[in-house]
Amino acid sequence: MPRVNLLPWRIERRKQRERGFYMQLIAAAMVALVVVIGWSMWMGLRIDYQNERNAYMQTQIHQLDTKIAQIKNLDKVRQRLLARKKIIEKLQSSRAQMVHLFDELVKRTPPSIRLTTMQQQGQSMTLQGVAQSDAAVATYMRNLATSPWMGPVDLKKTENVSGESRMPYQFALTVKLGMPESHPAAASSTTTQRATMRMVAGPAQMSRSAAHTSSKKTAFNPVAQVAESMTRGGHHR
């Protein structure tokens, strides 16, 4: 006897296809969800890693800024120390120059010249004093010009003034100061000792010159007294 299938097979096959489609759709959605979650986690890890790198870089930048500030402070300290060093070197050179300068003035001042005023302005010095004659002033200028610690000598004035019988001529001249190239900037120990001895002997000579100046009713001038003491030292020699 033949069998006849009376079930709605077409409807059943359509339902199977629909179930397969939904299953595939759900599987695709799950795969997409997994992909999205994985991508989100990966991006989160990348962001966290980048944030850590940024924090590390900020820390390093802050440390470098601190070191740069320290370097700038050290550079300022270095500049100040260099400036002090230059000032000290200049003072040392000037001290040696003045020691030799006064030594040269003592040596090259003749007995016919007496200094009354000395004034230094930079690398030039103005000398004022009295002399026995114009020839004595010219000799004094030649003596100063031959000194290695002095340069050209410029005569400002010379005039005959009445009331001073022994030294009637007043003069004023300007001397350029210098330093020999072959001589070291600092004074030698021998020259320093000689200058120290002169400084020790200076007060007694200054008192004698002050008494001599007051007897002639001239103005009190400490520089003139030092110059006159050096002149008297030349007389003694």
Q: Which amino acid is at 28?
A: A
In a domain, 143, yes or no: yes
Give the model's pLDDT for residue 27: 93
Give the model's pLDDT for residue 82: 94
In a domain, 178, yes or no: yes
Of 140, 131, 135, the closest CA to residue 112 belongs to: 131
The domain containing residue 148 runs over which residues?
Answer: 92-236
Per residue in 16-51, pLDDT (tens digit) is 888 889 999 999 999 999 999 999 999 999 999 999
In a domain, 77, yes or no: no
- Please state, as a whole number, how many other Cβ atoms lie within 10 Å of the Cβ of residue 51: 10
Q: Highest mean pLDDT range out of 27-31, 124-128, 167-171, 224-228? A: 27-31
In a domain, 54, yes or no: no
Give the model's pLDDT for residue 3: 65
Cα distance between residue 230 and residue 226, in whole Å:
6
2, 89, 141, 150, 157 from 154: Cα distances, Å: 154, 29, 8, 12, 9
In a domain, 179, yes or no: yes
In a domain, 6, yes or no: no
> What is the tally of structural domains in the chain?
1
Give the model's pLDDT for residue 89: 84
Per residue in 122-150, pLDDT (tens digit) is 788 899 998 888 888 888 888 888 888 88
In a domain, 21, yes or no: no
Per residue in 92-113, pLDDT (tens digit) is 777 777 788 888 888 888 888 8
CATH number at residue 192: 3.30.1360.100
In a domain, 42, yes or no: no
